[in-house]
């Protein structure tokens, strides 16, 4: 069982699969080919092989330049940075069932702001005495 690769980058010459689906640097499919043919093509064109999808049969590799690999890594880093971590921010708000109307409106606005910022909101309502 080959290890799954989290980082996006050139795989070099260590390709655990025999048959690959290869895509050229312009995005055009070159079809299925043997690992040796893909490596020879990589050497001829001066490009690097990058694993795109490994959970399909055969796994998909793309021939890319170093610049294309760098740009893709930057895109992925930016996307990862912008997406919030799930379960990290939970906001909790507690109020009485006898809350005044204006206080309820204020807390409702606060909850709406938290939801827009994609925080998890937990509400607790206490019974008034």
DSSP annotation of 56 = S
* pLDDT tens column, 92-127: 888 888 889 999 999 999 999 988 888 888 898 888
What pLDDT, on the 0 to 100 scale, is given for residue 46?
A: 86
Q: How many other β-carbons are positioned within 10 Å of the β-carbon of residue 83?
A: 9
Tell me phi and psi for residue 127, to 5 degrees: -80, 135
Domains with residue ranges and CATH for the chain:
19-82 (3.10.20.80), 90-126 (3.30.110.10)
What pLDDT, on the 0 to 100 scale, is given for residue 9?
A: 62
What pLDDT, on the 0 to 100 scale, is given for residue 108?
A: 92
Distance CA 110, CA 99 (A): 15
3-class state of residue 97 by DSSP: coil
Distance CA 37, CA 116 (A): 51
How deeply is 69 buried, as exposed, middle or buried, from its count of CB atoms within 10 A (0-12, 13-18, 19+)?
A: middle
Tell me which residues of the chain have a pLDDT lower than 50. 1-2, 4-5
Structure tokens at 2: 């080959």
What pLDDT, on the 0 to 100 scale, is given for residue 105?
A: 93
Q: Enumerate the H helices of the chain as residue ranges.
A: 35-45, 66-82, 101-116
3-class state of residue 121 by DSSP: strand
3-class state of residue 59 by DSSP: coil
**How much is the pTM?**
0.56
């Amino acid at each position: 069982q080959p290890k799954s690769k989290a980082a996006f980058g050139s795989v070099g010459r260590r390709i655990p699969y025999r048959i690959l689906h290869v895509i050229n640097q312009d995005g055009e499919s070159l079809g299925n080919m043997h690992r040796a043919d893909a490596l020879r093509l990589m050497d001829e064109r001066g490009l690097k092989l990058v694993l795109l999808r490994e959970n399909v049969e055969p796994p998909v590799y793309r021939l890319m330049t170093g610049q294309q690999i760098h740009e893709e890594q930057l895109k992925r880093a930016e996307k990862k940075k912008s997406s919030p971590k799930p379960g990290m921010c939970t906001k909790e708000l507690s109020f009485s069932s006898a809350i005044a109307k204006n206080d309820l409106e204020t807390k409702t606005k606060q909850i709406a702001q938290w939801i827009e910022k994609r925080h998890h909101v937990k509400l607790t309502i206490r019974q008034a005495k």
